[in-house]
Structure 1
Amino acid sequence: MTPASTDAKAIWRAFERTARADPGATALSTPGASVTREELATLASKIASAMRGAGVREHSVVTLMLPNSVEFVAAFLAVTQLPALAALVSTRYKASELRSIWAGIRPDAILVPPQHAAGVARLLDIERQHDMVVPGTDQVLRLLCVRSSGPASVLDVRERFGLRDPGSFPALFKFSSGATGTPKAVLWTAANVGAAAANVVETMGLDASDVVLAPVPLSHSYGFDLGILPLVFAGASLVIRDGFRPKTILTDLVDERISVFLGVPVMYRVLNRTRLDQVPDLSSVRYHVCSTAPLSVAQIEAFRRRFNAPIFQHYGSSETGGICLHVPSEIALRPGSVGRAMKNVGVSVVGTNGGALPAGCRGEVVISGEATAAGYVQGETVHDRNGFQDGFQDGCYRTGDVGFLDADGFLYLDGSRAGVVNVGGWKVSLAEVARVLESHPCVVESAVTAQTNPRRKQRVIAAVTLHDPAEEAELIAFCQARLADYKVPRRVHVLEQLPRAASGRVVLSADDLPS
């Protein structure tokens, strides 16, 4: 399962083996196209050849700023074929976020749709630009080459990012939004990628018969780990959607023989409330996965009753890949859990002194395993896991998430340490307040934060989007009936949509809301 060699080209070789096993099998499908494995391999090779012709060298850092598309997947495979480092950057990032990213990873080239090229070029010293017509289509990608000497060998690139382990071969940058929404570059080695793929494929039992539906961003860790890696390493077919339209997704789930659906909480809340002439039975889908944030027990049970299908809560991160997935036989018994550790992943809960806590005790969640990333890139070096920087230490990652393990090893999350505020001396979990708001029948999604007044005292405020009309006073009264008075939000703002980081994670600050 894990590639035999450890440079980035091992990822390409894994897909070559997949393609040779059944060249005519469908690899990708979009609303306008279906691409076989052989066609995808050919397309990736042509993009790689065009990059080489444009001056992109081995072990360069190539940023992919592309939407969900066949071109995104083909370009990623092309970068691994060079081999070079692929940086998965969302098209939703703003100029200030991109400046932060560029300062950390110092890209050698950026592949973008032409409409994004001018904005990106203004932020970097671009030496030359090349338009690449995607073979077999009328799609054009623009390659922006940055004025720099670039690394000449894998040894140079290891030194460039401060990797101490001589066996580490950099392959990939993911970006974690963390608690603040500020993107942080996470450096993955080729071995990390292979281990993450093995964890997902072995845990879920995926193979070439599976079809994965991904309306989530493929540039985000969730879409990449559970969408692209099963395609590359196990031959699963990937159905790509660039956005979420509830009735279209329901049609896809029935008509496309989907076995794995990659959803997020707001999608399931919308599906539970979408008016339908006929409600489909979705029990044929093996995994309705929900990730990026916990989904309430009420929503999980509502989905099961309506669509005759369980929701599998999934826990993962850009720093570790997949961590936990729920167990089919246990979902009804433990609906509030995100499941057990995935294959080859270690999950523990530690106290403030770093010692492991017994079952039932709340503490910080710590992850270990071969998929744990090398570390964050900050400035010119990577703080690797041997140096215990920003949560990485000795092959482990301290997530900052708070939770507990039960006696059978099922993990329950209570939020994050960063999501706890002090209100008049009382600790308030913002996640708890959000869960209460989202249990209101009119609320689709909520976000909760703290506001500091001129006297430096904090108060809880919230924002929601609605399915049906509701007044602020009604929402506050709903919270008052279910929360201690110090936890009740002083304001609940009704918005058309919640502010999000480029990863899709909701990131709310008091500055986003009216005073």
Structure 2
Amino acid sequence: MLLPRWHQTLTHFRDQPAIFHGEAVLTFADLAAALATQPLASAPVLATGSALEIVLATLRGWRDGQPVVPVERKDGALPELDSLPSQVAHVKLTPGNDGRPRGVWFTAEQLAADADALVEGMGLARHLPNLATVSLTHSYGYSSIILPLLLHGIPLQTVEVPFPAVVAAAWKAHPQVVLPAVPSMWRAWHRSGILEQAPIALALSAGAPLALELEQSIWDRHQLKLRNFYGTSEAGGISFDTSSQPRSHAGDLGTPLPGVQVTLSDDDRFHITSPSVAIGYDHPRPGEKLGNGNFLTPDHGHLTSGRLILDARGGEHINVAGRKLGPGRIEGALQATGLTSHVRVFGLPSSDPERVEEVAALVPSHTDVAALRRAVSSALAGWEIPRHWFTSDQPSDFSLTRAALRARHHPETGSDPT
């Protein structure tokens, strides 16, 4: 049903702008013509690269009946894709604990339901182009920018890098724009002064907790309301802040999007019922609940007057400025250097609220940490390399859970790093 939806978009908006890239404008007819030159896909299609490349890879998968798999890099680790169930139309990647990402499987109907809920709930419209400042291969960017383009005809404006001057130049081409971003971007743009009289009709913040101080400061200076958006890879968009004034509670995640129902489990985790919830994982773990329209998140909270209030985030992944990192992959890269026999990687709270967490590592006391950092730099991006290093001679320390290590080495209560 995704290909017929694309054909509807093409019919309705054939000669209208689809992608703004610098001074160039590609129409929906241009996208269709470019798709016609793409070879037949006989296996899952990896969507990566520029906005145009991701769009064409997506359409190619839909046209040829192959699952689409958005990835940051084609040479990155992938889950098993050779024997996907026949109904899988899309695979999202989420951090795994063993160094290999997990695949989250979606049908065409589930993917479309997510886009439809976002468009309706956020009031996205053709006269409001999406500025593509966030990664278009991550769930947030793909669902809020790529899918509305292809299923609803909402154009996107490319942004090469989210630097203040580049973003300001991008929005000058339009009377008004929608700007999905993460808190660290909003703080950088706020500090630079570019938000003064910016033509932003809708300012979205997701991927990491939005600090009340930042939200209030931008409101006070620019009368621009940042709208907190909450979602997961498994369930798509969940809730959205529709209030007209800055929030008074940092954990306020807004109200459920259309078609989404949220209840609480016995241990106060958010239980999501929605037509956009995934089929399941490629490798489910004991205790997980995902499928049949239901997802039990790892996040704990409560409900107040229909609004979701986050009390504590769960899960083992590390959130670095809105980018989710699987600790197992970092451990694998460190051990591959041959410079450490044991390692445990975990997250610690950052003093910068927009950074959220920083990567920490526990290694044996005899480890040459400086040499290890240098050796792993060829395999990991700078933001993935541990910032904090701890050492131990006790074998039992390397069997501790990540939560226990986090509690032990928390900057307010734990030991000092090396």
TM-score, normalised relative to structure 2:
0.75
- Distance in 2, matches of 1:248 and 1:490, equals 40
Residue from 347, 352, 364 that aligns with 1:438: 352
1:144-159 matched pairs, under 5 angstroms = none
Contact 2:183–2:210 (CA under 8 A) maintained in structure 1: yes
How far residue 388 of structure 1 moved from its aligned partner, in angstroms, is 7.7
Residue equivalent to 1:447: 358
Residue equivalent to 2:208: 293
Residue from 270, 275, 278 that aligns with 1:373: 278
Residue equivalent to 2:254: 339
Residue equivalent to 2:163: 245
Residue equivalent to 2:64: 82
How far residue 413 of structure 1 moved from its aligned partner, in angstroms, is 4.6
Residue equivalent to 1:223: 141
For structure 1, list consecutive stretches of 5 or more residues without a partner in the other structure.
Answer: 1-9, 107-159, 164-168, 353-362, 421-428, 463-475, 477-484, 492-514
- Distance in 1, matches of 2:32 and 2:151, equals 13
How far residue 185 of structure 1 moved from its aligned partner, in angstroms, is 0.8
Instruction: Say which SS state the counterpart of residue 203 (structure 2) adopts.
Output: strand
Q: Within the alignment, does 1:410 sit opposite 2:315 as a pair?
A: no
CA 46–417 in structure 1, closer or farther in 2 if over 3 Å, else same: closer
Residue equivalent to 1:263: 181
Moved more, 323-332 or 22-31: 323-332
Q: Within the alignment, does 1:209 sit opposite 2:130 as a pair?
A: no
Instruction: Say which SS state the counterpart of residue 366 (structure 1) adopts.
Output: strand
Letter paired with 1:280: E
- Distance in 1, matches of 2:144 and 2:12, equals 21
- Distance in 1, matches of 2:36 and 2:147, equals 18
Residue from 394, 400, 412 that aligns with 2:298: 400
CA RMSD of aligned residues (A): 3.0
- 1:221-276 deviations in Å (ceiling 9; x for gaps): 101110011111221111122432122213323443343111012111212222x4
- Matched residue pairs, number? 354
CA 81–39 in structure 1, closer or farther in 2 if over 3 Å, else same: same
CA 327–188 in structure 1, closer or farther in 2 if over 3 Å, else same: same
Instruction: Say which SS state the counterpart of residue 14 (structure 2) adopts.
Output: coil
How far residue 213 of structure 1 moved from its aligned partner, in angstroms, is 0.6
TM-score, normalised relative to structure 1:
0.62
Residue equivalent to 2:288: 390
Contact 1:266–1:445 (CA under 8 A) maintained in structure 2: no
How far residue 333 of structure 1 moved from its aligned partner, in angstroms, is 4.4
Q: Within the alignment, does 1:307 sit opposite 2:222 as a pair?
A: yes
Identity %: 21
How far residue 62 of structure 1 moved from its aligned partner, in angstroms, is 2.0
CA 68–307 in structure 1, closer or farther in 2 if over 3 Å, else same: farther
CA 253–179 in structure 1, closer or farther in 2 if over 3 Å, else same: farther
Letter paired with 1:63: L
CA 388–69 in structure 1, closer or farther in 2 if over 3 Å, else same: same
Contact 2:114–2:143 (CA under 8 A) maintained in structure 1: yes
Structure with max Cα Rg: 1
Letter paired with 1:374: I
Instruction: Say which SS state the counterpart of residue 268 (structure 1) adopts.
Output: helix
Letter paired with 1:69: A
- Distance in 2, matches of 1:202 and 1:181, equals 37
- 1:342-395 deviations in Å (ceiling 9; x for gaps): 11012222223xxxxxxxxxx2122111110011113xxxx5xxx987331542
Residue equivalent to 1:198: 116
Residue equivalent to 2:44: 61
Contact 2:215–2:246 (CA under 8 A) maintained in structure 1: no
How far residue 404 of structure 1 moved from its aligned partner, in angstroms, is 2.0
Residue equivalent to 1:3: none
How far residue 90 of structure 1 moved from its aligned partner, in angstroms, is 1.4
For structure 2, list consecutive stretches of 5 or more residues without a partner in the other structure.
Answer: 319-345, 363-389, 398-403
Letter paired with 1:27: A
Contact 1:18–1:235 (CA under 8 A) maintained in structure 2: yes
